[in-house]
């Protein structure tokens, strides 16, 4: 099984669509509204997943520990400013499942957690399957880096989507092809008020460090893949 740790607003729907079209076997996507029930009853999972080849959901890291057989694991990261802007646009459309309101308020307090303010570290530094709420620090950043570097079978960078799928295909022996499924309408980063942009950057310092680490590692692995195929 391939387990896709889908961090919100990192092009995950495009990944799910590519998997659905390219992979044999059943694809199972756990919706956010189902998440709590799944995490509370992990003993049910293995029977439900017997014929599933690709499992995805907005899980925090750690879900794989509940599975009877170790899966291959993959995730995507995105530039924190872009991820935050996109997340806010989605939250405004779906206040039934996401914290919504003015972005400044969501970034400055706990009300926006775990979807605002270092959301990618909150997802990847977890060990329970639920994203971390409450303060996050350098220890969480170090853990998220470790997960990306040493524990994920592969990972992608949203801004390099096609190249990411090439690297994932190499590591997972899959044949995923780009299938863009992003239909969100939201302002570009260049259109954001400067003071709000600074607030986004300040609230995501750990995510920025994680993203920069992931980009360096991604480019190293992509370069190694190119040399191997030369």
Average pLDDT, integer, range 68-94: 95
Q: By the 8 A CB rule, do 168 and 156 touch? A: yes
Where is 53: in which H helix or E strand?
strand 52-57
Average model confidence (pLDDT) across the chain: 92
pLDDT, residue 229, reads 67
Q: How do the residues of the chain divide into helix, strand and coil, expressed in percent and rounded to 5?
A: 55, 10, 35
Residue 93 structure tokens? 């459309």
With cut-offs at 50, 70 and 90, classify the pLDDT of residue 128: very high
Burial (CB < 10 A; 0-12, 13-18, 19+), residue 62, is middle
pLDDT given at position 40: 87
Region 26-49 average pLDDT: 87
79-96: average pLDDT: 95
pLDDT digits (tens, 9 = 90+) for 158-190: 999 999 999 999 999 999 998 765 555 666 766
Share of the chain above pLDDT 70, in %: 94
Please state whether the predicted TM-score (pTM) of the whole model is above 0.85.
yes
What pLDDT is stored for residue 178 in this prediction?
82
Q: Which domains does the chain possess?
A: 2-229 (3.40.50.300)
Q: CB 98: neighbour CB atoms within 10 A?
A: 18
């Amino acid at each position: 099984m391939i387990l896709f740790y889908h961090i919100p607003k990192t092009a995950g729907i495009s990944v799910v669509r590519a998997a659905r079209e390219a992979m044999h076997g059943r694809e199972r996507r756990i919706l956010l509204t189902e998440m709590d029930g799944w995490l509370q009853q992990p003993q049910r999972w293995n029977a439900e997943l017997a014929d599933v080849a690709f499992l995805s959901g907005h899980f925090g890291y750690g879900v794989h520990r509940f599975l009877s057989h170790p899966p291959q694991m993959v995730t995507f990261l995105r530039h924190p400013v872009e991820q935050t802007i996109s997340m806010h646009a989605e939250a405004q459309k779906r206040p039934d499942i996401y914290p919504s309101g003015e972005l400044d308020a969501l970034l400055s307090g706990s009300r926006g957690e775990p979807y605002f303010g270092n959301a990618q570290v909150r997802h990847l530094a977890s060990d329970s399957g639920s994203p971390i709420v409450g303060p996050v620090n350098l220890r969480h950043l170090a853990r998220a880096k470790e997960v990306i570097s040493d524990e994920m079978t592969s990972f992608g960078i949203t801004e390099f989507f096609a190249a990411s799928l090439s690297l994932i295909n190499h590591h997972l022996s899959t044949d995923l092809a780009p299938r863009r499924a992003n239909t969100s309408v939201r302002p570009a980063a260049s259109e954001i008020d400067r003071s709000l942009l600074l607030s986004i950057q300040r609230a995501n310092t750990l995510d920025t460090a994680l993203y920069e680490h992931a980009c360096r590692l991604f480019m190293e692995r992509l370069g190694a893949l190119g040399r191997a195929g030369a």
